[in-house]
Amino acid sequence: LIQRDTTSTNDWLAVTDGVLASTSSNVYPAGSVALSKTVLDNLIETLPEQFEDMYDDVAFYTNRKARADYLSSVGDRGTTLGDSIIEGKFGKELGYQGIPLRRIPRWPGTLDPGAASTNVIYGGAKCVIMAWQRKITMDREFRISPQVYVVVITLRVAIGLEHEPGLAKATQVTGS
């Protein structure tokens, strides 16, 4: 749902475009640098002004490693904020300019072959629409030898963007 791309050679990923491939109007190429204040500043500037107040839940979204690198760089500052991060006094919603920086599980960290490169999305979570088919089937069986139940759930999932220009994407962001 995140990494799908219709140009992919992988049959599963080529089914439809995911969030990363669909976000293409407002793109900032970071140039293979770690996630930093500069990258986040430029990402904010990349989003057109008319979309700044479109959603009340704006945030930065990326993978665990890029977020950890950013928090580490803030923690290295010789200030009260840096000390608070090192001591773990801040909650999980630390970000930049009052905008949370959230990690998304399974967000790809190797978009460029041979490099730890990822993307950062900036925008409202409500812009991403996920739909489930109403017809959901469930089959189950008990396997005697291993003494386990096997449950198979079949459903269709779709993902789309409410308004694609309301998101901005930074590409080529490294994560250690």
Q: Over the stretch 129-139, which tens digit does the pLDDT of each residue have? A: 878 888 889 99
Spatial distance between the Cα atoms of 87 and 74, rounded to a whole number of angstroms: 12
pLDDT category of residue 91 using cuts at 50, 70 and 90: low
* Average pLDDT of span 11-23: 70
In angstroms, what CA-CA distances link 88 with 28, 66, 91? 31, 18, 7
Strands 128-132 and 117-124, sheet pairing: unpaired
* Average pLDDT of span 147-163: 86
- Collapsed DSSP state (helix, strand, coil) of residue 120: strand
pLDDT category of residue 85 using cuts at 50, 70 and 90: low
* Average pLDDT of span 114-119: 75
- Kindly report, residue by residue over 24-67, the tens digit of the pLDDT: 888 999 888 888 889 999 999 998 888 877 767 888 888 888 88
* DSSP letter, residue 11: T
